[in-house]
Every structure is written in structure tokens, then in C-alpha cells.
Chain A
Amino acid sequence: MRYLPLLWAQLFRRKTRTVLTLLSVLVAFLLFGLLEAVQVAFESGADSADAKRLLTTARYSIIEPLPMAYASRIERVPGVVGVAYADWFGARYQNESNAFAVFAVEPARYLDMYPEFEIAPAQREAFVKTRTGAVAGKRLVDRYGWTVGQKLPIASEIHTKTDGSLNWEFDLVGIIDAEDPAVRANTEVVLINVAHFDEARQSGKGKTGWYIVRVADVEQARAISAAIDRMFLNSPDETKTAPEKEFALGFARQIGDMGALVTRILLAVFFTILILTGNTMAQSIRERIPELAILKTLGFSNTAVTALVLGEAALLLVIGASLGMLAAVAMLPVLNSATGGRFPPLFVEPATWAWAAAVAVALALAVGLPPALRVHRLRIVDALAGHR
């Protein structure tokens, strides 16, 4: 560590150059942090999935309904400890299609199924008891300025009421929230009480969209999934059951090559940065050949001088990378509020930090090794003679 001042002095020998290089490294890692956060957001459904939860949908297409009566039959499958169901409402709010997701659920079953959703006990009680009740995610409540106790007018694009109207109204009785940022994206819904919904809709009565099944033992998840599907085989409504995580991943994969695209963009960025930084390093070393020769004359070993050069590259990249990642962390809250909560909340995962560190070290080696080796081979006499 006693060489740190020396490294520092070398690095800032030409201030402008170093600062500019530092800034381009910073921008590269800022972009890395942001894009990784976007990618994590795409897959956050998968991260927040609970291995003990299974999803049962209609076998051939998720849009086909299933009978509500399946709840009690699934409950009797050995190993199943809880069943909830939900139906897609197709919300239209303030004339905007799918402004947010609305699920028609049986309150107690659904909230028991998702213990990571936090709700005040009194509000939960009110939701269970109010047939026209609804609870909403905190981010939605903040975005639209709703208050508990108000009427919530939400139109449906799918479900007509018995009077033929598509305009529904619910009583907002509670707010759900979550600590974990990955889970918080899932709370961005309005849950409505299925009791009133099923009674007041014109068609599709007694049907629901999908089942969520909790199993006692993760090891048995596969066997239980198969048992559920077997039970409904050859019935008019066959099912397909899979762990929640698989379901979320499948959905992320439907978006398709988004992840591959992000990776390719990052590759282009790093390739560019590599060229920029590598060139600057090489140039800076070339200019300092006589100085490095003097260091050798003073008794620094070949290895020590090589290490100094490598250390310089590492210092540059580590500082740039840290500042870039910090900038990403600082920018995300701003971005999150700028998107008005339209997009799942973005955050930098610990894994992203680890990746950034690994990439910084790899880049430092790629950039630092060629000049370092050159210095290693350097002969003092040649260098001092001024043959560059």
C-alpha cells in the first residue's frame, strides 16, 4: 500500500487525460448498472417467486377460464396446504387500457397465499368483509392519489355487469406493500373481492383465471403438479401446473431476446471502452519510458515496475467502475419516479456489484497487461538512451 501515492502520482501525471478516461469508464459502468437493473426487473417475477407455490392454468392457453369448483378438489390433493385463485379483470382506468392489473380474488385465500404482501390487520379484515371491497398496491395509491375509504371507479374491457355496463365501482379498503423491492413490483395491483364480482358479472360466473397452490414440501412440487393435472385429465377443463418460478421465467422468455439484446449492447460498450482505455494506457506508458527506466535504475525490480503499471490500470478501472456504479445507484430512484411507476421498480442487485467488480478486474488486466509486459522487458540502457 505504500506505493499508492506513487500510483496516484503516475495516474494524475496528465490530469486531463486521466480524468477523461476515468469519465468514459464511469459512463460505461453507469450504463452497465442501469441495463442490469432493467434486466433484473424483467426477471424480478422469477426472483420473488416462492418455490412452494405452484400455478395451475388451463392446459392450452392461459386465457381460458377454469371452474372455481376446482379449489376444493385441488385442496384435497395430498401435500397441498393452501389454494387461492385469481381472475383477470382487464382494467381500464381514466380511459387508459391496462393502466394496472386488477385481479378478482377471494381475499383471505389470496393474502394467505402471498404472506410477503404487507397489509394492516384491520384493512385485511375490512377486505374480507366488504363484498365490493378492493385493496391496492402502495405505488398505485401514491401514483393516483387514492385514499382508503374512497370509491374506485374502474372499467373492465372484458367483464360486463348484469346491466350490460362495463363500468365497475369498488370500495378501496386497504393498501398492500412489500419491503423487498423485487416483491414490491408484484404488489402493483388492485385486488377486488370476487364475491361481488362474480355475482354482478353477466357471463363467466363460477369461473376463474388461474389457481395458486401452496405445497408443504418443495421436493414434492413436481409430483403434486402432476397429480393435479392428472385429476383433471380428460375433463372439459384440463389443467397445466408448474412452479411459480418456471411460470415467471416463461413469461420473461416470451419477451424473448431482450436479455440477449442487453448483453450485446453491453458487449459493444465494453469493447469500445476497452479500445479507448487501452490506447490511453499504452500512450501514457510510452511517454513515461524514461521515468520507468529510472525507477529500475533506482533498484526497483522488473516485477515491481510491472506491478506498478498493472496497478495503475487497476486503480483507474476500479475508481471509474465504482463511481459509475454509484452513479447508477444514485440515478435509479430518479428514474423510478420519472417513469411514474409505469415500470417495475429498478434497483441494483448485490450480484450486479459482483459482476461489475469482475468486469473491472478483467478490463484492468486486458488494458494493463500489454504495456506492463513491455515495461517488464525494458532494458534500462535503451530506455534512457531515448529510443522510444
Chain B
Amino acid sequence: MSWLNQVVQVTLINLRNVPRRLGTSLVIVVGIAGVVGVLVSVLAMGEGFRHTLASTGRPTRVIMLRAGSDAEMSSGVARDQATVLTNLPALARDAAGQPLVSAELFVMVELPRHGQTDPNNVPFRGVQPAAFTIRDEVRIVEGRPFGRGVREVIVGHKAARQFAGLGVGSRIAFRDSDWTVVGTFESGGDVHESEIWADAEVAMSAFRRTGFQSVTAALADPSEAGLAALKDSISRDRRLSINVLREPEYYAKQASILSRLIGVLGYSVATFMAIGATFGALNCMYSAIASRQTEIATLRAIGFGGAPVVVSVMIEALVLALVGGAVGGALAYVYCDGASLSTLNFNTFSQVAFDFRVTRGLLVQGLVWALLIGAAGGLLPAIRAARLPVTVALRTL
């Protein structure tokens, strides 16, 4: 018990002394806050991007692409193939017996960001009427749905926020055609909110396309058996050369390159910064014990052990680190959480808009980094403090 008591006493003395050494103590706090702030913000970007793609689609739905294509942009499904697919019994039908299938055109159109002139590849999707029944997460939040057979579009609300000229009522010119924006839609924060939607038939004639890019459908039986039945009927039909994927599986794949890139960027930058901050913390703790040399030696002289000194210095470093980590995490939360960003998704070659997401997991991870830096920065000075011979320390006075 007495050992523990010693630890508590010495630690309390140290911590009470922190305000008197505010300058040096702040160095640890600021240094670590910098590391944690950068780490959490960059990872929050990756998290937001992954979340946007991961929340797209439901496992009860499938997307069908041409065999050999990994993305809609490079896929092609001819009209007759789409018709065959639409009538497959493994796909769901609504109450009226209409298939819950939407053959879709997927192209890119070029639009500038707000306040800029450079063109960006914005995804444009031509959908069939069933698309809204299949994707029941899609809700019109402003205006109305596009009319059938007319050049009208609805715009995902993230696309409207990033790119110019997409307000309800405005007109946009794509390839020898003028379109009117009649509505804005939300779809639960998923990737479709970065898209522009129109009637598939109108879009195909305007973009002079004869085929679709993909077919999205609800499974009649969402179990593995139901999916196997669908794949089976497709592989037996010699007219079809089609690859079937559950939607979440497809959209997770679309995130691969960019999330890896963001992860590598975030962790490598944070690692370097952490090394720099560790040197800073070491410096700060060395000077902290240097300024307390006499005090520590006195404690040792009156019978305190070496261990309490080590532990107390460590605890001081860890407490300061924790404060730094909390400040860094809080800054990242205040400045980044919910901020929106649009970038080129290398998998699809088109723009995807998403929000930074500072999750609890990321904040915890930030604190763990902070503690590690604090421990690395406190250990050596703590050992030096305990090792210093009492007589030498007292003589330097």
C-alpha cells in the first residue's frame, strides 16, 4: 500500500506543478493535438467515402453487368438481353405482376463545380419506371419526379450541392439536348446522391445509345438459393453473358482504390507526425524533470523509491498526451465532421460526393495514438529521473 501511496503522492505533486510549467506542458498537448487532428481528419474522409459506397444498395437487390466488366461505365447490356433479363422468374414482381427490374443507361456528363469553370465527370443515369419501386430509399425532397418521355432530370442533392446549375427549374445542356431540372432527391446518403437521373428511353435517344449499361433488380428470393437460381438461369441462357452481383458487393468494390489511397496517406502522414511529436514530448519531459531535479532528489533522499518517480513522470506524460489527443479529436470533429467533398473515384472515373465522418471509433483510435506518443515520450525521461544519483542531483543546486 505504501508504494501505491508514494506513487499517488508524487504524481499529485507533479500534476499540481503542471500549471507552473505551462509552456513546456503545452508543447506536448499541441504536438499531440496536431498529430491526432490530422490523423482523425484524413481517416474521417476515408470513412465518409467508404460509408457512402457501403450504404449504397441492399443485399436483396442485384446489379447485372456484362461478364468481364467491373464497373457500369465499361459494361454494356444490349436491349434484347435486357428484355430477357427482365422476364427471368428469379426476379421479383410487384403486386400488378410487373417485374421489379430497371435497365439503366449510365454515362458521364461534364459540369463545373460551383464558382469554377473546369468540367467534372458527373454520373448521369437513365432509369426505367420500376427504379423508384426497387430503390424505395429514393425520396424527392424538392420539386417533382421527371415526366416520362420528356427531357427532364432529377438531381441527387449532393450533386446539386457540388456542381453549378443544378437548382430546380434551371436548364442544362448536354449533347444536342436541353434538359430541365425538375426535382432534387435524397437516397439515404448513398452514392446515387452524386448522380443525375432521367428517363432511360429519353436519355438513350439523346445520348444516341442503343444499349444499356446495367440492369438493377430485386430478387424474388433474397436468400443465397434465390441468387443461385438467378445465376443458374442466366448461365443456362446462351444469349446472355452477364455477371450478377448483389448490390452491396458491387458498390464495395467501387471503393477499393480511393479508400486504399486515403488510408495510406492518412496513416503514413500521421506516423511521421507522431515520430516528430514524440521527439517533442521527449524534449518536454526531459526539461520537466530537469527543472524538478532537486525536488525529485529530495524525495528520494527522504525515502521515496525509484518506481514512484518513474510512474509519476509517466502518468504526467500520459495525462498531457490524453489532453492533446482529446483536443486534436475535438478539433477534427468541429472542423471536419459533416464537411462535404467531391472527388474523382478512380474505380468509376466519375465524381462521387461524400461527407467527412468522424466516428467514435476514429476518436478512440486518435486517443490510442496520443497515449502511445505520450508513453514513448515519457519513458526515457522517467527512467533518467529515477536513475539520477541523489548526491549528484542535490549537488547541482
Contacts and interface: CB of A to CB of B under 8 A. Distances in A.
Given A272-B35, A276-B27, A20 B341 contact: no
B71 A97 contact: yes
A72 interface: no
A62 B73 CA distance: 12
Interface in A262-309: 265, 268-269, 271-273, 275-276, 279-280, 282-283
Interface in B221-280: 241, 265, 268-269, 272-273, 275-277, 279-280
A58 B30 CA distance: 52
A265 B107 CA distance: 35
B276 A27 contact: yes
Nearest to B381: A16
A265 B241 CA distance: 47
Interface residues of B, number: 59
Contacts of A268: 34, 37-38, 273
Contacts of A157: 68-71, 74-75
B118 interface: yes
A31 B42 CA distance: 15
Nearest to B353: A256
B186 interface: no
B181 interface: no
Contacts of A158: 69, 74, 76
A60 B174 contact: yes
A253 B280 contact: no
Given A27-B273, A61-B110, A256-B344, A271 B34 contact: yes
B118 A63 contact: no
Contacts of B6: none
A283 B287 contact: yes
A275 B24 contact: no
A35 interface: yes
Contacts of B276: 23-24, 27-28, 31, 269, 272-273, 276
Contact of B269 (A238, A265, A275, A276): A265
A253 B174 CA distance: 21
A63 B107 contact: yes
B68 A275 contact: no
A250 interface: yes
Contact of B108 (A63, A250, A272, A279): A63
A266 to B, nearest CB: 9
Nearest to A274: B30
A21 B279 contact: yes
Contacts of A269: 34, 38, 273, 276
A59 B269 contact: no
A30 B272 contact: yes
Nearest to B270: A265
A219 interface: no
Contacts of B175: 59-61, 64
Interface string B113-127: 100101111000000
Interface in A12-46: 16-17, 20-21, 23-24, 27-28, 30-31, 34-35, 38
Contact of B343 (A31, A92, A257): A257
A16 B286 contact: yes
A258 B265 CA distance: 11
Contacts of B31: 272, 275-276
A313 interface: no
B26 interface: yes
A155 interface: yes
Contacts of B342: 256
Contacts of A257: 341, 343
B359 interface: no
A79 interface: no
A295 B183 CA distance: 77
A90 interface: yes
Contacts of B343: 254-258
Interface string B30-49: 11001101100010010000
Contacts of B346: 98
B282 A20 contact: yes
B26 A275 contact: yes
A20 B273 contact: no
Interface in A152-191: 155, 157-158, 164, 166
A31 B269 contact: yes
Nearest to B68: A166
Nearest to A251: B344
B351 to A, nearest CB: 7
A256 B122 CA distance: 13
Given A158-B74, A257-B341, A272-B34, A21 B283 contact: yes
B128 to A, nearest CB: 22
A254 B163 CA distance: 12
Contacts of B71: 97, 157
Contacts of B174: 60-61
Nearest to A25: B276
A272 B277 contact: yes
Task: Indicate the member of B23, B38, B45, B283 with the most A CB atoms within 10 Å.
Answer: B283
Contact of A17 (B45, B108, B283): B283
Contacts of B394: none
A97 B70 CA distance: 7
Interface of B: 23-24, 26-27, 30-31, 34-35, 37-38, 42, 45, 67-71, 73-76, 107-110, 113, 116, 118-121, 174-176, 207-208, 241, 265, 268-269, 272-273, 275-277, 279-280, 282-284, 286-287, 341-344, 346-347, 351
Given A31-B276, A250-B118, A275-B27, 13 more contacts: A20-B282, A21-B279, A24-B280, A31-B269, A60-B109, A61-B121, A63-B108, A98-B346, A164-B241, A166-B68, A254-B118, A265-B269, A283-B23
30 contacts: A17-B283, A17-B286, A17-B287, A24-B283, A38-B265, A61-B107, A61-B108, A61-B174, A63-B108, A155-B68, A158-B74, A164-B241, A249-B118, A250-B119, A253-B118, A253-B120, A254-B121, A258-B343, A261-B42, A268-B273, A269-B273, A271-B34, A272-B277, A273-B276, A275-B27, A275-B30, A275-B31, A276-B277, A276-B283, A279-B23
